[in-house]
Chains A and B, each alone.
Chain A
Amino acid sequence: MKTRMIILVLVIGAMFAPFAQGRTKLVALPERDATIIRLDNPNATLIEEERVLTLQKGLNKVDFSWKAVSIDADSIRLTVLDHPDKVKLLNVSYPPGEPALVWEIASDGDYAETVRISYLLRNIDRLVTYKAIADKEETQVNLKSYLVLRNFSGEDFEKARVLLDYGEPKDELGIDHEETKRMLFLKSPEVPITKIWTWDAAKLPWDPEELEHRNIGVPVSYRIVNEDKSGLGEFAMAGGKARLFQDDGSGSTIFLGEDNTALIPVGQKTELYVGDSRDIVVTQRKMKDDKIPVHKNNKDQVVLYKTNEVITAKIENFKDKPATLTMIQHIGGQWEMKECTLDGKKVKYNRKDASTLEFEIELEARSDDGPAERNLKMHYNRLNVRP
Chain B
Amino acid sequence: MKRIILLITLMLSVSAAAKIDLVTLPERDITQMTIYNSADLTLIRDGRSLTLAEGDNRLQFSWAGTLIDPTSLSMLPKAHADKIDVAELTYPARVKNAGIWNIDSEIDGSVPMEITYLTSGLSWRAFYMGTLTEDEKAMRLQGYVRVSNNSGEDYENAQTRLIVGQVHILDQIAELARREQPYGRPGVRPQTQTMTVSNRMVRKRAVMEEAEMVVTRMSAAAPKEIKKEGLSEYFLYTIEGTETIPNTWSKRLPSFEAAEIPVVNLYKHTGPGNRRVYRYLSFKNDDEHKLGETPIPGGNLKVYRTIDDDSHLSYTGTSNFKYIPVGEDVELNLGAVSDVIVEPKMMDYKSDNYRFDRKGNISGWDEIRTVQLTVKNTRDIDVKIELKRNLNTQYWNIKNSGVAKKAYEQVDMDTVKYTLTLEPETEKVVEYVLTTYHGTRTEGRSKSS
Contact = CB atoms under 8 A, between A and B. Distances in A.
Nearest to B227: A250
B184 interface: yes
Contact of A299 (B170, B287, B358): B358
Q: How large is the interface on B (under 10, 10 to 19, 20 to 34, 35 or more residues)?
A: 35 or more
B93 to A, nearest CB: 4
Contacts of B168: 219, 257-259, 273-276
A368 B287 contact: yes
Interface in B283-339: 286-287, 295, 298, 320-323, 325-328, 331, 333
Interface string A253-277: 1111111100000000000011111
A178 B74 contact: no
Contact of B87 (A184, A277, A278, A300): A184
A289 B186 contact: no
A286 to B, nearest CB: 5
A122 interface: yes
A241 B170 contact: yes
Contacts of B67: none
Given A123-B186, A273-B168, A293 B444 contact: yes
Interface stretch (B12-20, B127-135, B231-239, B342-350): B231-239
Interface in B74-111: 74, 86-94
Interface stretch (A74-82, A101-109, A124-132): A124-132
A290 B322 contact: no
Contact of A254 (B87, B163, B359): B163
Nearest to A260: B170
B392 interface: no
A213 B300 CA distance: 10
Contacts of B121: none
B286 A370 contact: yes
Q: How large is the interface on A (under 10, 10 to 19, 20 to 34, 35 or more residues)?
A: 35 or more
A143 to B, nearest CB: 14
Interface in B249-302: 286-287, 295, 298
A300 B232 contact: no
Given A286-B412, A318-B327, A368-B287, A276 B233 contact: yes
Nearest to B355: A300
B421 interface: no
Interface string A283-298: 0011111111100000
B413 A287 contact: yes
A293 to B, nearest CB: 5
Contact of B443 (A215, A257, A277, A291): A291
Contact of A312 (B443, B446, B449): B449
Interface string B175-189: 000000111111100
A240 to B, nearest CB: 11
B285 to A, nearest CB: 9
Given A152-B185, A366-B327, A215 B363 contact: no
A319 B230 CA distance: 9
B72 interface: yes
A134 interface: yes
Nearest to A211: B322
Given A176-B93, A275-B167, A293 B412 contact: no
B412 A287 contact: yes
Given A179-B90, A277-B233, A287-B449, A150 B328 contact: no
Contacts of A178: 93-94, 181
A288 B93 contact: no
A290 B181 CA distance: 60
A150 B186 contact: yes
A295 to B, nearest CB: 12
Contacts of B62: none
B48 interface: no
Contacts of B36: 255
Interface centre among B182, B229, B233, B327 (most CB of A within 10 A): B233
B60 interface: no
Nearest to A212: B333
B348 to A, nearest CB: 27
Contacts, number: 202
B357 interface: yes
Contact of A183 (B34, B88, B447): B88
B388 to A, nearest CB: 10
Contacts of B357: 299-300
A138 interface: yes
A44 to B, nearest CB: 10
A288 B444 CA distance: 11
A122 B186 CA distance: 8
A119 B449 CA distance: 72
Contact of A288 (B186, B287, B394): B394
Contacts of B183: 127, 148, 150, 180, 182
B448 interface: yes
A257 B173 CA distance: 12
Given A257-B168, A277-B233, A123 B394 contact: no
A310 B91 contact: no
A217 interface: yes
A263 B92 CA distance: 29
B118 interface: yes
A183 B166 contact: no
Interface string A225-256: 00000000000000001010110100011111
B382 to A, nearest CB: 23
B165 A275 contact: yes
A164 B71 CA distance: 21
Interface string A301-325: 0100000101010000011100000
15 contacts: A136-B231, A150-B181, A181-B91, A182-B90, A243-B72, A255-B43, A275-B168, A277-B233, A278-B233, A279-B325, A281-B328, A287-B449, A290-B445, A300-B357, A366-B326
Given A152-B185, A289-B446, A370-B286, 6 more contacts: A181-B91, A182-B91, A245-B43, A288-B446, A290-B445, A291-B442
The 10 closest A-B pairs by CB, nearest first: A318-B325, A287-B449, A178-B93, A276-B166, A285-B412, A125-B186, A257-B168, A180-B91, A179-B93, A277-B233
